[in-house]
Amino acid sequence: MKLWLDDNRPAPDGWTWAKTASEAIKWLMAGSDITDISFDHDLGEGNGDGHDVVSLVEELVYAGRIKMPEMAVHSANPVGAQKIHLAIEAMKRRHGGLRESG
């Protein structure tokens, strides 16, 4: 499953659209086989942000609950996008960038 996290821009064909951090978290916690995630940072007032979701992805990968998905950032917020990119790069360094789970 490909997960598109964005409150405004519709998901591309073949992607599941999560408009809030909590929607994305529900998919992650449901044990869905998420192969790809594309992050927006700003999700609207009170809806969390993309960094909340990438942080959970790292926790779940570390715990062996999910495989590390391919991750991209499509946010128009340069500071928020950089924050997510840094989290993704740190996760790849810590977890070897492998799509294997424990």
pLDDT tens string 68-88: 999 999 999 999 999 999 999
pLDDT tens sequence across 1-35: 999 999 999 999 999 999 999 999 999 999 778 99
Residue from 2, 92, 86 nearest 41 by CA = 86
Which CATH number is 2-95's, of 3.30.750, 1.10.3470, 3.40.50, 2.40.50?
3.40.50
Range name among 3-7, 52-56, 87-91 with the lowest pLDDT average: 87-91
For the chain, the domains span 2-95
User: Buried b / exposed e across 27-60, counting CB within 10 Å, b at 16+?
Assistant: bbeeeeebeebbbbbbbeeeebbbbbbbebbbeb
Res 98: pLDDT: 47
For helices 21-29 and 50-62, the axis angle rounded to 10 degrees is: 20
Smallest CA-to-CA distance from 39 within 28, 24, 58, 27 is with 24
In this prediction, residue 69 carries a pLDDT of: 94
HSE (side-chain half, CA atoms, 13 Å) at 66:
23
